[in-house]
Amino acid sequence: MKKQLHLQIRQIGNSRGVVIPKAILEQVGFEDEADLIIEGNRLVLSKPKKNPREGWAEASKAIAEAKEDHLVLGEFMNEGDEDWIW
């Protein structure tokens, strides 16, 4: 659903900006940050993309603490692996 909202550009310190109403921010799920893209003569705000590995360290610790970190395939050797020094 497309909505159009007319906003005043205001002086904010040495810069200029717009104030986005709280209800609009909540509707699109914005919290503390936004990504800004310039497309021709448009400014497009979007929610920042999360790091795909965010939370992996904590999750791996939890898995290890639950003793669920066993090898799925088990240990196996390839021909010639015994020559490798680790």
Query: Which of 1 and 65 is assigned the larger pLDDT?
Result: 65
DSSP-assigned beta bridge partners for residue 15? 12
The percent of residues in the chain predicted with pLDDT above 70, rounded, is 98
Domain of residue 55 covers: 1-71
- What is the predicted pLDDT for the residue at 71? 76
Per the CB < 8 A criterion, the answer to whether 37 and 48 are in contact is no
Q: Is residue 12 part of a domain?
A: yes
CATH of the domain at 46: 2.10.260.10
Task: Check residue 78 and give its pLDDT.
Answer: 82
Residue 5's pLDDT is 86
Q: Is residue 78 part of a domain?
A: no
Say what the pLDDT of residue 75 is: 73
79 is a domain residue:
no
How many structural domains comprise the chain? 1
Token representation of residue 8: 């005043």
**pLDDT over 80 at 46, yes or no:** yes
Q: Is residue 83 part of a domain?
A: no
E strands, 1-86, are 10-12, 15-17, 35-39, 42-46
pLDDT tens-place string over residues 56-82? 999 999 999 998 888 777 777 788 887
